[in-house]
């Protein structure tokens, strides 16, 4: 491409680039605010007029965060535990179900799939009030297990449907050939379906993971000091000894969302390619 | 689908997660107990926010117990504590509750402390100011809390702002107070707003009391439809219209106000005397050394001098679901001792033991506010009595107050509506 | 393998997911119906209340407002999300240098927790020192007290909520857009179609299925919006942003009136079923035909 050519291309595309920049800047406003404020001296966060860049870059917010709010480490740990086991449980529950919906054509399976979809429409908040006394009764209040079960259940429908769409795309002939060779169903599942499904497993695991990592509602209602997750603690952190320590809040926010951003980067292609069959977070 | 590199990154992240998890599970538990409270109780015990004594080493020495604090700002602490009480099991062993929370419903979820008091009494129990225990007891004489912090609010004023407006003396009547606040409000050179006074929807209760009225009588009779409250609301509506109080006053919570006051944007603030140390904390405050303290004056139309403020009055209680009631009692005993009460007072706690007020050292250290605080405590009483639907009633009341102040209803209408909604929530008189 | 045995295996594979749904969703749901007919408060004896709780909430003007707010919130919120989500997807259907990075940046809101979004936007909207009001002030506009006036608060909430959920529409519409065969677009251009016609007659029909799915998901998710609203406005001012989920939360976890709160839950459930049932039917047909 000659430079002349390129120049004309740039000028032709300039309006679109400007539009793109506006959209991108608009999208990252809060993220930028949180990151830049986390490196400001706390007094500067409240500065009037506000500053767009830290006048003096400091890491003191991060250092003080872990000193002032030792619970934050525990909250991160709780988030990690809940996220990890939600991923594992969701995959192990949904993959067999997806396989069934994809390969078993009896009407009973279609009908149960519709039940699954209908259940997904149930607003999570509606079960929270009855769940509170139930969890008390069975001794599961403020526990990791509660959150893991809730997250898994509320993600299971969509994950199953995504996996089903993927398994639909695996040629059934491979399996038929294996059966002819005398393989059992278990062998077909573990030697053929499982390895071939690895990409969708990774992608859906990340979807569940970022949901569990960020979830606020259930975490807020069903945890106290024991299983409290990072987002809940951050929302609670706006109260401390001397007014709101915005420095700590922003530092904690950055620590919380950086892993989620990395997850998003990994899963991005998966999210925007070929998941028209209803993939979305919720 | 995904590239191989993405997969590797994913599994790497997963490993990190696992390591964190494993490390966490290996952590062993210590013999700490968890305490749920407002941040002021933590700073009373461990210092901080301009205060200096840390009692926790003494506590460990005396009882072998160390405290882990779970604090929540006002007003979130109210619902947070009640939510914690509703759990079957809780990690919290000890809780600090404010007087209006001791409703029959909440008392049912607390341990009566009479047995503890009998078998293992606290030092100088009779030294706790009389009358306080009535707020935390039921009619059968069960005691559910040991008072720890009590004060009547005082009037803080920003001397720099007063001087700038040519006001030499803090106000001596309610009318002067309103006039001074109106005179000072405006815009600073850099564009920042200056407000005449700290004002929250509940502040009209103080106004009504300054005019000789109030909210509810001791027998749950509604007083807020009467003239003093109407007058207070109309006055607030004027302040609102003139920009003396922030346009978004109904959304500002206690911590927002503290920030504004520390920024020097507020001329007068009615609050607990112990916030003196927060306002003089060089780390957080830009008004160090500029803050004066006096009592809240009553209107010149009434025959008393001080407007009775909202008595903030916190007690230590052991939840029925407490993780470790015995340890909690040990802590209560320690914090109620004369020594601890005096030390906490040095940290800016407003003591419930009269002996502390008589301590000359305490009076000297806190000379800036101790007189005003003592006078204020004598007249103060809680805005709301404790009953099951208190938080709903208080929300309804404040909503109607805001509607009236912002001019969407007349004060009379708003209070009549509030009365209609609140009356069914009040306990029936027996 | 007999058909019978095969079905048994299939059902066994479905067992875990259905167990989860029964124990985590259905049983609490039934319990909610039971609770809604009781005077049920923690720390107080439970008594039978019949339909009293339903009478209480249906007679409460605040509940009616919450219902209207919910409908308003869903209609405005979903429209904005769809319009802007589609707009951004259209912009990205041109290939840009660094496409993957730009897409990652505009998807970033998806990776943020409602709790963190709420606190950060709260800071941005702060009337005293917030950057938004400062920018307005510099442009000569008096500061807006965002969370004070009903309309501004509602607008601010819609803005934040839309901002957070544009990526949710984008990830559905964008793949549909880039899978449109370029020949179709070229042919339309040769036929002299202008940009508007091109969008209206060629592109829109082709992305309609994706838009429909986006509409369904966004409606259902907006109906249950909670975290952002709780952190940002708590339903205020004057309950102007109090949607049904916030009303339920306040009944259950602020006033601890579990009976009425459960009744609100049952009402929300019925509303959701009414709104979602045609969509469930459509979606299940689509899923099952594939």
Residue pLDDT, tens place only, B116-128: 999 999 988 888 8
3-state secondary structure (DSSP) of residue B318? coil
- For C205-240, what is each residue's pLDDT tens digit? 888 888 888 888 888 889 889 988 988 888 877 788
Evaluate if residue C17 carries a pLDDT over 90: yes
Which of A197-206, B345-354, C45-54, C109-118 is predicted with the least confidence, judged by mean pLDDT? Answer: B345-354
User: Residue C128 and residue B260: Cβ atoms within 8 Å?
Assistant: yes
What percent of the residues of chain A are helix, what percent strand, and what percent coil, each to the nearest 5? 75, 0, 25
Q: In which band, very low, low, confident or very high, does the pLDDT at C161 lie, cut at 50, 70 and 90?
A: very high
User: Residue A238 and residue B73: Cβ atoms within 8 Å?
Assistant: yes
Backbone angles phi, psi at C48, to 5 degrees: -75, 135
Q: Which residues of A touch C129 (CB under 8 A)?
A: 46-48, 50
- For B266-320, what is each residue's pLDDT tens digit? 999 999 888 888 888 887 788 888 999 999 999 999 999 999 999 888 999 999 9
Evaluate if residue C290 carries a pLDDT over 70: no
User: Residue C17 and residue A160: Cβ atoms within 8 Å?
Assistant: yes
- For B147-189, what is each residue's pLDDT tens digit? 999 888 999 999 999 999 999 999 999 999 999 999 999 988 8
Evaluate if residue C32 carries a pLDDT over 80: yes
Superfamily of domain B33-151+312-372, CATH level 4: Periplasmic binding protein-like II (3.40.190.10)
- The predicted structure's pLDDT at residue C289: 58
Q: Which tokens go with A131? A: 């769940």
- The predicted structure's pLDDT at residue A2: 55
User: Residue B20 and residue A240: Cβ atoms within 8 Å?
Assistant: no
Evaluate if residue B27 carries a pLDDT over 60: no
What is the domain-level CATH number for residue C262? 1.10.3720.10
Cβ atoms C181, C93 nearer than 8 A: no
Evaluate if residue C279 carries a pLDDT over 80: no
Cα of B391 to nearest chain C Cα, Å: 6
3-state secondary structure (DSSP) of residue B211? coil
Q: In which band, very low, low, confident or very high, does the pLDDT at C43 lie, cut at 50, 70 and 90?
A: confident
| Per-chain mean pLDDT for chain C | 86
- The predicted structure's pLDDT at residue A3: 60
CB atoms within 10 A of CB C212: 15
CB of C220 within 8 Å of a chain A CB? The answer is yes
Averages of pLDDT over runs of 10 residues in chain A (282 residues) are 66 84 88 89 72 80 85 92 95 92 83 78 85 87 93 90 86 88 86 87 87 92 90 78 71 90 79 48 32
Domain ranges, residue C84 = 62-289
Closest-approach residue (CA) in chain C for A162: C287
Residue C54 lies in a domain: no
- Dmax over CA atoms of chain C, in Å, equals 79
The residue whose two tokens read 């309103």 is B178
Q: Which positions 27-56 of A are in contact with B (Cβ < 8 Å)? A: 46, 48-49
Name all domains of chain A by residue range, CATH numbers in brackets: 60-272 (1.10.3720.10)
Residue C78 lies in a domain: yes
Residue C263 lies in a domain: yes
User: Residue A141 and residue B87: Cβ atoms within 8 Å?
Assistant: yes
- Between CA C186 and CA B292 the distance in angstroms is 77
Closest CA to C180 of C215, C146, C206: C206
Phi-psi region of B50 (alpha: psi -120 to 50; beta: other; left: phi over 0): left
- The predicted structure's pLDDT at residue A276: 42
Count interface pairs A-C at CB distance under 8 A: 284
Closest-approach residue (CA) in chain C for B103: C43
CA distance to B87, B323, C47, C49, C256, per residue, from C39 (Å): 18, 28, 5, 6, 11
DSSP class per residue in B103-123: -HHHHTTB---HHHHHHSPPT
- The predicted structure's pLDDT at residue B224: 95
Backbone angles phi, psi at B37, to 5 degrees: -160, 175
The neighbours of chain C, by the rule of 3 or more Cβ pairs under 8 Å, are A, B
- The predicted structure's pLDDT at residue B28: 43
Q: Which residues of A touch C210 (CB under 8 A)?
A: 276
Q: Which tokens go with A92? A: 């192990």
User: Residue C249 and residue A272: Cβ atoms within 8 Å?
Assistant: no
Residue C31 lies in a domain: no
The neighbours of chain B, by the rule of 3 or more Cβ pairs under 8 Å, are A, C
Q: In which band, very low, low, confident or very high, does the pLDDT at C283 lie, cut at 50, 70 and 90?
A: low
- Percentage of residues in chain B with pLDDT exceeding 70? 92
Q: Which residues of C touch B108 (CB under 8 A)?
A: 43-44
| Sheet-wide strand order for B33-37 | B67-71, B33-37, B92-98, B312-317, B146-151
Residue in B83, B248, B403 closest to C127 by CB: B248
Of residues B285 and B35, which shows the higher confidence score? B35
- Percentage of residues in chain B with pLDDT exceeding 90? 46
Q: Which of C146, C148, C240 to mutate to test the interface with B (most CBs of B within 10 A)?
A: C148
Evaluate if residue B323 carries a pLDDT over 80: yes
DSSP letter (8 states) at residue C110:
G
Over residues B19-41, the mean pLDDT reads: 70
Of residues B367 and C75, which shows the higher confidence score? C75
- The predicted structure's pLDDT at residue B227: 94
Most confident range, picked from A3-12, B39-48, B134-143:
B134-143
User: Residue B39 and residue A239: Cβ atoms within 8 Å?
Assistant: yes
Residue C73 lies in a domain: yes
| Per-chain mean pLDDT for chain B | 87
The residue extents of the domains of chain B are 33-151+312-372, 154-310+387-425
Cα of C151 to nearest chain A Cα, Å: 22
Residue C18 lies in a domain: no
Cα of C165 to nearest chain B Cα, Å: 24
Closest-approach residue (CA) in chain C for B257: C128
Which fold is adopted by the domain B154-310+387-425?
Answer: D-Maltodextrin-Binding Protein; domain 2 (3.40.190)
Of residues B209 and B429, which shows the higher confidence score? B209
- The predicted structure's pLDDT at residue C2: 63
- The predicted structure's pLDDT at residue A171: 87
At B34, which helix (H) or strand (E)? strand B33-37
Residue C21 lies in a domain: no
Number of domains composing chain C: 1
Cα of A13 to nearest chain B Cα, Å: 30
- For B411-421, what is each residue's pLDDT tens digit? 999 999 999 99
User: Residue A206 and residue B10: Cβ atoms within 8 Å?
Assistant: yes
Q: Which residues of A touch C266 (CB under 8 A)?
A: 126
Cβ atoms C108, A34 nearer than 8 A: no
Residue C224 lies in a domain: yes
Cross-strand pairs, B71 = B37
- The predicted structure's pLDDT at residue B320: 92
Count interface pairs B-C at CB distance under 8 A: 57
Residues with Cβ within 8 Å of residue A196, at least 6 apart in sequence: A170
- The predicted structure's pLDDT at residue C111: 83
Closest-approach residue (CA) in chain A for B26: A77
Q: In which band, very low, low, confident or very high, does the pLDDT at B20 lie, cut at 50, 70 and 90?
A: low
Cα of B13 to nearest chain A Cα, Å: 9
């Amino acid at each position: 491409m000659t430079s002349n050519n390129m120049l004309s291309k740039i000028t032709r595309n300039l309006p679109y680039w400007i539009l793109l920049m506006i959209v991108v800047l608009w999208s990252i406003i809060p993220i930028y605010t949180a990151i830049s404020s986390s490196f400001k001296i706390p007094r500067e966060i409240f500065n009037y007029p506000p500053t767009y860049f830290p006048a003096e870059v400091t890491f003191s917010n991060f250092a003080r965060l872990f000193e002032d709010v030792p619970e934050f480490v525990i909250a991160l740990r709780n988030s990690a535990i809940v996220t990890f086991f939600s991923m594992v449980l969701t995959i192990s529950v949904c993959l067999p179900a997806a396989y069934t919906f994809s390969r078993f054509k009896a009407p009973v399976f279609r009908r149960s799939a519709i039940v699954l979809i209908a259940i997904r429409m149930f607003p999570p908040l509606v079960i929270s009030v009855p769940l509170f006394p139930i969890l008390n009764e069975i001794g599961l209040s403020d526990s990791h297990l509660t959150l893991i079960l809730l997250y898994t259940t509320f993600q299971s429908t969509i994950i199953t449907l995504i996996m089903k769409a993927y398994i639909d795309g695996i040629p059934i002939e491979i399996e038929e050939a294996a059966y002819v060779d005398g393989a059992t169903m278990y062998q077909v599942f573990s030697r053929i379906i499982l390895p071939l499904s690895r990409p969708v497993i990774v992608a859906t695991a990340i979807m569940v993971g970022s949901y569990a990592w960020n979830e606020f509602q259930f975490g807020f209602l069903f945890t106290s000091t024991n299983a409290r997750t990072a987002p809940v603690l951050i929302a609670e952190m706006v109260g401390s000894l001397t007014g709101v320590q915005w420095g700590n809040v922003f530092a904690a926010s950055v620590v919380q969302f950086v892993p989620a951003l990395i997850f998003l980067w990994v899963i991005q292609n998966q999210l925007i390619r070929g998941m028209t069959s209803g993939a979305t977070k919720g | 689908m995904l590239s191989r590199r993405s997969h590797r990154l994913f599994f790497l992240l997963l490993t990190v997660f696992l390591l964190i998890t494993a490390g966490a599970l290996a952590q062993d538990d210590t013999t700490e107990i968890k305490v749920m409270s407002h941040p002021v109780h933590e700073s009373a015990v461990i210092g901080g926010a301009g205060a200096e004594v840390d009692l926790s080493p003494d506590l460990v020495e005396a009882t072998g117990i160390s405290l882990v604090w779970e604090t929540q700002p006002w007003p979130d602490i109210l619902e947070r504590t009640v939510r914690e009480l509703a759990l079957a099991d809780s990690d919290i062993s000890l809780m600090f509750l404010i007087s209006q929370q001791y409703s029959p419903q909440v008392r049912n979820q607390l341990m009566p402390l009479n047995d503890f008091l009998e078998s293992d009494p606290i030092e100088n129990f009779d030294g706790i100011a009389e009358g306080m225990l009535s707020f935390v007891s039921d009619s059968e004489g069960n005691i559910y809390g040991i008072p720890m912090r009590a004060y009547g609010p005082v009037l803080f004023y920003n001397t720099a702002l007063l001087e700038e407006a040519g006001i030499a003396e803090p106000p001596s009547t309610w009318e002067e107070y309103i006039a001074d606040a109106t005179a000072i409000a405006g815009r600073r050179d850099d564009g920042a707003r200056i407000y005449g006074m700290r004002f929250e929807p509940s502040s009209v209760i103080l106004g009504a009391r300054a005019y000789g009225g109030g909210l509810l009588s001791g027998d749950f009779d509604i007083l807020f439809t009467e003239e003093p409250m109407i007058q207070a609301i109309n006055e607030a509506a004027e302040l609102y219209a003139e920009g003396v109080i922030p346009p978004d006053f109904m959304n500002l919570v206690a911590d927002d106000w503290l920030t504004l006051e520390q920024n020097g944007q507020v001329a007068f603030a009615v609050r607990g005397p112990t916030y003196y140390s927060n306002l003089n904390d060089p780390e957080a405050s830009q008004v160090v050394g500029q803050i004066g303290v006096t009592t809240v004056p009553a209107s010149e139309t009434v025959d008393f001098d001080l407007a009775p403020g909202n008595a903030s009055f916190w007690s230590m209680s052991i939840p029925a679901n407490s993780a470790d009631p015995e340890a909690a009692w040990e802590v209560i005993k320690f914090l109620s001792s004369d020594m601890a009460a005096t030390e906490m007072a040095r940290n800016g706690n407003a003591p419930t033991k009269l002996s502390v007020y008589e301590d000359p050292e305490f009076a000297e250290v806190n000379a800036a506010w101790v007189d005003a605080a003592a006078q204020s405590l004598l007249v103060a009483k809680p805005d709301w009595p404790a009953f099951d639907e208190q938080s709903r009633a208080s929300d309804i009341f404040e909503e109607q107050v805001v509607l009236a102040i912002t001019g969407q209803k007349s004060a009379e209408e708003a209070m009549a509506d509030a009365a209609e909604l609140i009356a069914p929530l009040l306990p029936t008189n027996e | 393998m007999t058909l019978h045995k095969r079905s048994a295996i299939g059902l066994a594979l479905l067992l875990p997911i259905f167990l989860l749904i029964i124990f985590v969703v259905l049983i609490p749901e039934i319990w909610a119906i039971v609770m809604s007919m009781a005077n049920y408060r923690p720390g107080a004896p439970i008594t039978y209340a019949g339909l009293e709780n339903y009478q209480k909430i249906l007679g409460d003007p605040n509940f009616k407002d919450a219902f209207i707010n919910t409908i308003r919130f869903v209609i405005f919120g979903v429209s904005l999300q769809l319009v802007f989500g589609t707009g951004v997807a259209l912009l990205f259907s041109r290939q840009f240098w660094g496409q993957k990075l730009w897409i990652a940046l505009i998807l970033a809101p998806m990776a943020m927790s409602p709790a963190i979004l709420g606190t950060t936007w709260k800071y941005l909207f702060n009337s005293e020192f917030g950057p938004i009001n400062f920018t307005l002030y510099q442009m000569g506009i008096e500061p807006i007290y965002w969370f004070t006036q009903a309309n501004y608060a509602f607008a601010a909430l819609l803005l934040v909520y839309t901002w957070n959920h544009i990526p949710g529409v984008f990830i559905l519409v964008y793949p549909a857009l880039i899978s449109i065969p370029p020949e179709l677009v070229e042919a339309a251009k040769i036929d002299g179609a202008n940009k508007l016609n091109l969008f209206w007659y060629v592109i829109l029909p082709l992305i309609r299925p994706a838009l429909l799915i986006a509409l369904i998901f966004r409606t259902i998710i907006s109906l249950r919006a909670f975290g952002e609203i709780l952190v940002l406005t708590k339903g205020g001012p004057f309950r102007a942003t109090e949607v049904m989920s916030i009303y339920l939360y306040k009944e259950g976890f602020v006033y601890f009136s579990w009976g009425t709160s459960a009744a609100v839950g049952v009402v929300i459930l019925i509303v959701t079923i009414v709104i979602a049932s045609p969509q469930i039917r459509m979606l299940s047909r689509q899923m099952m035909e594939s």
